[in-house]
Amino acid sequence: MAGPTETATPSTLATRVNRLVPAAVLLALLYYGQAVLIPFALAIMLSLLLAPLARALRRIGVGRIGSVLAAVLALVVLVSAVAGALTIQVLRVAEGLPQYQANVQRKLGELDAQTSGRLRVLTNEASRLIDVRETPSADAGGAVPAPRHPAAQGTLFEAGQDGSAAVQLRGLLSSLWRPVQTLGIVLLVLVFVLLEHESLRDRFIRLVGTTDIRATTLALTDAGERLSRFFVSQFAVNVGFAAAVWLCLNLLRVPQAMLLAALAGVLRFVPYIGVGIAALIATALAFAVDPGWSLAGITLGVFIALDVVAGQLLEPHLYGHATGLSPLAVVVATIFWSSLWGPLGLILSTPLTLCLVVAGRHMKSLGTLELLLSDSRALTLPQRFYQRALSGDPHEIIAEARTFLKKESLAAYCDLVLIPALHLAHTDEERGAGVNRQSVRIRTVIVDVVGALFGTDSKLPRRRHRGSVLENIDPGRWLRQQREQLSGRWQGPLGVPPGSVVICLGLGSPADDLAAEMLVRLLRMQKVDARHFSPVDMAAGLPAGASPDGVSMVYLVSAYPGAERASADSVIQGVRQLLPECPVVKVFCTGISLVPDLDAAQEHGDAVDSLSAAVPLCSSLQLARRAL
């Protein structure tokens, strides 16, 4: 008889095929349709860049068509001027190549003589000692080749001297036709995208669905504004970076500074490696033109300094420290888009990936893209705590907790992270997912984390074989026994002034005991004489020599909703019989629940839903009682 796994196999395969086929079709369209998609993607990116300029022109009274044409015309003039200037720079580099070649050969010869040349000298001496004479031809790497005369080397323009002028012109036009064609398509699409902006938005809303027009409109507006702001800011930073490079290289008298600056500005769109590539090219040119070695080092230092200034000072103020993408996603996206679309894909990789993340943030069907590509945390803080506890890694938990405590209180950490993590562990145990070894590991990690965060590790004595002991005792009881080693069975003196002791009483589960112990430690940090007891301790009565007047209030602590809360009323009745004048406050934490589980009637005293609320309540009730 076929098992459930075998019967489920066809549907599983069908589901996988249904997921893989659209992905394969999409990849094929991206690769084979790049002739259409690349101009369209460039037009969309440029429309986000020019949209603020078009809107500004409309605000001053220019019509819709006039503002779009003026913005596109400004872009064309700017690109044409830069392209013309860069063409002149490239021709000048080509003219100076013979001179640069001689200088590079001389420097490489000097470098070779100082490094591998000395090693060859030692080798020749060893060969001479054994009567092995090396001919000059055998030492091919040692001699520095004499520079050829520039006339013998030729130039870049000699390849077509044998052909006619018509053939050369035809070859030149054919090589320029594709870039001009792509540029024309980009400009045409750009004009229509800017003109049909509102219409495209309406069509997209209709495509996504008109059930919630308000939410869809807000999402599109937010996404468009964010992307436009990012592209404009990034373009401004890169242009400023290029201008600073041009100015510095001019001051250093590096030739073709404008070409190197433009290259640096364009390559800065490539994440992580773009500036490095531009710096290596500029350094290599400085190495070639300067007879000495200092210009190359200074040029490299200029690039490093300017990139640090742009990355650490300008970008954080304009669009934050990061793009909202995870570093791994940026690297993978760069490889993916460059393999599909070549150099243009390399430059467009970050903007395209950012568009996908924004789409995933506002569209549920694309939510997986945001999870995979964005730098947002995939797990919540309680989930991260629980996962690290399962792995037995208290150090990472403590490091994240200290980061959390820079902005929030320790009580808030207990309410928002630690107690919900306990609730997650309890949920897994109810489903039978937990094993004894994992439970012991979690208990050990919790003891380490609580001890480190409350600063009690250095004050309390260590016990050996803690892991084996925690197999039979819960963390709250263990932490309480640690304190009892210093302060005694009753965690302090019995003869105390009236109304000075606060009792924290867990409802009975291990999580309740731990929450009660954490509340005790939080109160003790506020100079309150708080003591941790269990329902069994309270049922045994007060110790000999202790007066009921010494207790000011009792906290009944529950970490999260559970079966133990059904016995809360009976526990409160026992407390009433033992301490008839003492107020009882329920501390019923929510755990991973969003809705507090507090009694509506409040028949047996006050109730709060967090340790953060319980700590200040203790001070206010004690002050009110003393006033009476």
Question: Per-residue pLDDT tens for 1-35?
Answer: 444 444 445 566 666 666 677 778 888 888 888 88
Q: Is residue 139 part of a domain?
A: no
Q: What is the pLDDT of residue 243?
A: 92
What one-character-per-residue DSSP string does 181-227 give? HHHHHHHHHHHHHHHTHHHHHHHHHHHH-STTHHHHHHHHHHHHHHH
Q: What is the pLDDT of residue 469?
A: 53
DSSP 314: I
Q: Is residue 365 part of a domain?
A: no
CB distance 69 to 50 below 8 Å: no
Tell me the pLDDT band of 138, cut-offs 50, 70 and 90.
very low
**Comparing 205-209, 267-271, 527-531, 543-547, which segment has the lowest mean pLDDT?**
205-209
> Which are the contacts of 446, defined by CB distance < 8 A and separation ≥ 6?
389, 418, 422, 475, 514
Q: What is the pLDDT of residue 145?
A: 52
Q: What is the pLDDT of residue 248?
A: 92
Asked which of 146, 180, 195 is the last residue of a domain, the reply is 195
Tell me the pLDDT band of 119, cut-offs 50, 70 and 90.
low
Tell me the pLDDT band of 208, cut-offs 50, 70 and 90.
low
Q: What is the pLDDT of residue 521?
A: 92
DSSP 548: G
Residue 597: pLDDT above 90?
Answer: no
Of 246, 264, 263, residue with least CA distance to 255? 246
CA 128 – CA 132 distance, rounded (Å): 5
Q: How many CA atoms lie within 13 A of 440 on its CB side?
A: 11
Domain count for the chain: 2
Residue 332: pLDDT above 50?
Answer: yes
State how far the alpha carbon of 526 is from the alpha carbons of 496, 568, 615, in Å.
Answer: 18, 27, 8
User: Both tokens of residue 489?
Assistant: 């069975």
Q: What tens digit of pLDDT does each residue of 177-189 get?
A: 777 778 888 888 8
The amino acid sitting at 503 is I
**Over pLDDT 90: what percentage of the chain?**
9
Q: What tens digit of pLDDT does each residue of 55-70 get?
A: 888 888 888 888 888 9
Q: Is residue 175 part of a domain?
A: yes
> Which are the contacts of 104, defined by CB distance < 8 A and separation ≥ 6?
287, 288
Range(s) of the domain holding residue 23: 19-131+167-195
User: Both tokens of residue 345?
Assistant: 């894909």
591: domain CATH number? 3.40.50.280
- Within a 10 A sphere around the Cβ of 65, how many other Cβ atoms? 11
Q: What is the pLDDT of residue 417?
A: 92
Residue 433: pLDDT above 70?
Answer: no
Q: Is residue 527 part of a domain?
A: yes
Q: Is residue 241 part of a domain?
A: no
Tell me the pLDDT band of 520, cut-offs 50, 70 and 90.
very high
Q: Is residue 51 part of a domain?
A: yes
Higher pLDDT, 421 or 149: 421
State how far the alpha carbon of 419 is from the alpha carbons of 230, 239, 321, 559, in Å.
Answer: 39, 50, 32, 6
Q: What is the pLDDT of residue 210?
A: 55
Q: Is residue 607 part of a domain?
A: yes
Q: Is residue 540 part of a domain?
A: yes
Task: Read off the pLDDT of each residue in 172-199 and give the average, rounded to a whole number.
Answer: 79
Higher pLDDT, 351 or 600: 351
Which of 184-198, 222-236, 499-513 has maximum average pLDDT? 499-513
Tell me the pLDDT band of 596, cut-offs 50, 70 and 90.
low
Q: What is the pLDDT of residue 593?
A: 73
CB distance 617 to 586 below 8 Å: no
DSSP 92: H
Task: Read off the pLDDT of each residue in 303-322 and give the average, rounded to a whole number.
Answer: 76
Q: What is the pLDDT of residue 134?
A: 46
**Judging by beta carbons within 10 Å of its beta carbon (0-12, 13-18, 19+), is residue 320 exposed, middle or buried?**
exposed
Tell me the pLDDT band of 80, cut-offs 50, 70 and 90.
confident
Higher pLDDT, 614 or 486: 614
Q: What is the pLDDT of residue 23?
A: 75
Residue 367: pLDDT above 60?
Answer: yes
H helices within 458-507, ranges in order? 466-469, 475-487
Q: What is the pLDDT of residue 244?
A: 92
Q: What is the pLDDT of residue 317?
A: 67
Of 171, 143, 146, residue with least CA distance to 157? 171
Q: What are phi and psi of 606, to 5 degrees?
A: -75, 170
Which residue reads 């589901």 in tokens? 15
Residue 150: pLDDT above 50?
Answer: no
Asked which of 144, 175, 195 is the last residue of a domain, the reply is 195
Q: What is the pLDDT of residue 32?
A: 86
Higher pLDDT, 602 or 401: 401
The β-bridge relationship of strands 584-588 and 551-558 is parallel
Residue 614: pLDDT above 50?
Answer: yes
Q: Could you tell me the strand order of the sheet in which 584-588 lies?
A: 529-533, 501-506, 551-558, 584-588, 606-608
CB distance 519 to 587 below 8 Å: yes
Residue 545: pLDDT above 80?
Answer: no
pTM, two decimal places: 0.60
User: Both tokens of residue 74?
Assistant: 């400004």
**Over pLDDT 70: what percentage of the chain?**
73
Asked which of 178, 195, 212 is the last residue of a domain, the reply is 195
Residue 238: pLDDT above 80?
Answer: yes
Task: Read off the pLDDT of each residue in 236-244 and give the average, rounded to a whole number.
Answer: 89
